[in-house]
Chain A
Amino acid sequence: MASSSEAATANSEGHAAEGAERRDFLKMVTLATAAVGVCAVAWPFIDSMNPAKDTIAAGSPIDVDLSQVAPGQQIVVLWREKPILLVNRPAEALKTLQSSAMINRLRDPDSRVLQQPPYADNWHRSVKPEWAVLVGICTHLGCLPQYFPNPSANTPVADWPGGYLCPCHGSKYDLAGRVWQGVPAPFNLPVPPYNFLDARTVRIGENPPNVTYSLNDIVQI
């Protein structure tokens, strides 16, 4: 102790400055190492909050049998904890989707906003015109829009052409999940990835061959 402190006082000023620089360098290397270590340790904890392997496995594609769904009927299945709406749209409903009266009411009639896979980027927003496959979650604040398929003069609202009405804040969609103008919801209902295994069976969660699309790609779920 004593001899080293004597040596320190005996140093010229130049040596002292050199020592100080060395000390700063060591200090910064130590701090940098500690910072890298903290980040390396923090990552596993942050990553542990991501979906676990079994949660991801539980989100695998599911097959739905459509053979019992009558024209005009909607069935709802859960895929990745989300309600997936499957509707057998009758011919009159498809006609309404293409009518200018309907299209004039819509915010995004041509599905310009990415809310659907490329194979559903068409006037019926689906693979087959009669089968609608939609994520039934309002793009406003996440409520579940209700299914009112039939045109009506007063139910649920006056001059109703058929479609979806969100009970929370009155957002309206047509039977292709396209959002109306003048309602709080900003975007069309999302379309999940799906493909038809045969005429009667749809697989939700899997694209047709050679297409990559997932709900992570869309503007808003």
Chain B
Amino acid sequence: MAELGLQENEFKNPVVHWIDARLPVFTAMHKEYRQFPTPKNFNYFWNFGALATVNLAIMIITGIFLAMNYNPSTAGAFDSVERIMRDVNWGWMIRYLHVVGASLFFVTVYVHIFRGLYYGSYKKPREMIWMLGVVLLLLLMATAFMGYVLPWGQMSFWGATVITNLFGAIPVVGHGIVTWLWGGFAVANPTLNRFFSLHYLLPFIIVGFLVLHIMALHTVGSNNPLGIDVKGPQDTLPFHPYYTVKDSVGVCVYLIVFAILVFFIPHQPLLMDPNNSIQANPLQTPSDIVPEWYFLPFYAILRSVPNKLGGVVLLFGSIFVLFFLPWLDTSPVRSCRFRPIMRWLWVLFVIDVFVLGYVGANRPVGIFILLGRIATVWYYIHMLIFLPLVGKLERPLPLPESISKSVLGGGALPSAAAARPMEKA
């Protein structure tokens, strides 16, 4: 078979066989999505990577069709979106899919991230997967922000004004950068044009980084709810059909939620701010400028600092600190199931982010100023103090001997045998 440098393969279909001998895509798919040994103890939190991928596909497809009818100019943008809603066949549905999809994208990604935090998925050897994930998060945020500007409603315009002005806090070059971002003296037609261009480009950059994210995952293998290493074939299942089916169950539930939001409550204020149904007016600021819900925690951090540059630094720092998470967390135990202190700190951290989101949705007066400051400080204390310190002080619970034993009811070893698991790792 291996004549003339052709790739050997065992596909029976002659066409598949012929192609694979010259371009082994079928072998690659077989290896990565059929055989790929996957820990047999995944819970449903492991669905969310697949859900985010499905969401990305939905956003790209609906976005391509929206772009067919969208007019990226300050004179025509708002009207063209209204035309999509009223005149274009099914335009209302395609736009609602895109709007709801934006919110659900962040839901899936945030669950995916907090799952990684709880089960220590960022730790060795998965640092690269994690850091690529942070890059994906930043790209997603940039894409979502620029997409929100495109309908050219009041929130589009004033959100763009506030966010681009953040860069004005940078010493010396700030004003130059802001003018450069705008392509003028304020958020205006050149800004809208470039945001449309970049909003169309970035999803494909995201696809590229997603491929790297998955390549890194398939190099070192998946983490699992126990956080212990796979010790052999008895601990794993082939990805297909076991996890394709499990992911399909999740996708069905997720599509049902998606459909309910699109067809019954697309105008829920969390999904669509009513102010954005008013055309952008550079001479009138809405009484409350609130970003979309998925930016609220970061917005709260920004506003809790009484200094412009300080607020901007803490805002961006709250995401950039994630790059260093694999080294900030000093515990060798991955899963918080076996970390009696960190699991509660994780719960508090989740609550903290929700508090930040709640604060971000309210005007910075009275109790919300204090609450925002406490929550911001807690965020950084968790990242910079708890993660390094608790890893050293905490005494983890005994780890199970293997995934297989744990799944089949073998249970954990007696605590004596598992003593000092930190030294074993």
Contacts and interface: CB of A to CB of B under 8 A. Distances in A.
B90 A52 contact: no
Nearest to B90: A44
13 contacts: A44-B93, A44-B94, A47-B89, A48-B89, A48-B91, A48-B94, A49-B68, A52-B83, A52-B87, A53-B88, A54-B83, A54-B86, A55-B87
Residue of A1, A47, A48, A52 most packed against chain B (CB within 10 A): A48
A50 B88 CA distance: 8
Interface in B69-84: 69, 83
Interface of A: 1-2, 44-45, 47-50, 52-55
A2 B408 CA distance: 8
Given A1-B408, A55-B87, 13 more contacts: A2-B408, A47-B89, A47-B90, A48-B88, A48-B90, A49-B65, A52-B69, A52-B89, A52-B91, A53-B86, A54-B83, A54-B86, A54-B87
Contacts of A49: 65, 68
A75 B90 CA distance: 39
B278 interface: no
A47 B86 CA distance: 14
A54 B85 CA distance: 12
Contacts, number: 37
B270 interface: no
Contacts of B87: 52-55
A50 B68 CA distance: 11
Contacts of A44: 89-90, 93-94
Contacts of A50: 89
B89 to A, nearest CB: 5
A53 B408 CA distance: 61
A48 B68 CA distance: 9
Interface in B319-339: none
Nearest to A37: B255
User: Which 3 interchain pairs have the tightest Cβ spacing?
Assistant: A44-B90, A54-B87, A53-B87
Interface string B173-200: 0000000000000000000000000000
Nearest to A54: B87
Contacts of A54: 83, 86-87
Contacts of B69: 48, 52
A68 to B, nearest CB: 35
Interface string B405-418: 00010000000000
Contacts of B211: none
B220 interface: no
A53 B89 CA distance: 7
A45 B65 contact: yes
B191 to A, nearest CB: 27
B61 interface: yes
Residue of B68, B89, B91, B408 most packed against chain A (CB within 10 A): B89
Given A1-B408, A52-B69, A45 B90 contact: yes
B93 A52 contact: no
Contacts of A55: 87
B36 to A, nearest CB: 21
Contacts of B88: 48, 52-53
B97 to A, nearest CB: 9
Nearest to A51: B89
Given A1-B408, A2-B408, A48 B65 contact: yes
A23 to B, nearest CB: 11
Nearest to B66: A48
A47 B88 CA distance: 9
B176 to A, nearest CB: 42
A173 B87 CA distance: 39
Contacts of A1: 408
A48 B89 CA distance: 4
Contacts of B83: 52, 54
B96 to A, nearest CB: 11
A187 B202 CA distance: 49
B135 to A, nearest CB: 30
A48 B91 CA distance: 6
Contacts of B408: 1-2
Contacts of A45: 61, 65, 90, 94
B140 to A, nearest CB: 23
Contacts of B65: 45, 48-49
A2 B65 CA distance: 50
A45 B88 CA distance: 10
A54 B93 CA distance: 17
A2 B86 CA distance: 58
Contacts of A53: 86-89
Nearest to B91: A48
A2 B404 CA distance: 13
B372 to A, nearest CB: 42
A44 B262 CA distance: 14
B330 to A, nearest CB: 37
Contacts of B90: 44-45, 47-48
Interface in B126-152: none
B299 to A, nearest CB: 34
Contacts of B61: 45
A104 to B, nearest CB: 49
Contacts of A47: 89-90
Interface string B46-75: 000000000000000100010011000000
A48 B83 CA distance: 12
Nearest to B245: A30
A54 B68 CA distance: 15
Nearest to A56: B87
Contacts of B68: 48-49
Interface in B90-135: 90-91, 93-94
A49 B66 CA distance: 10
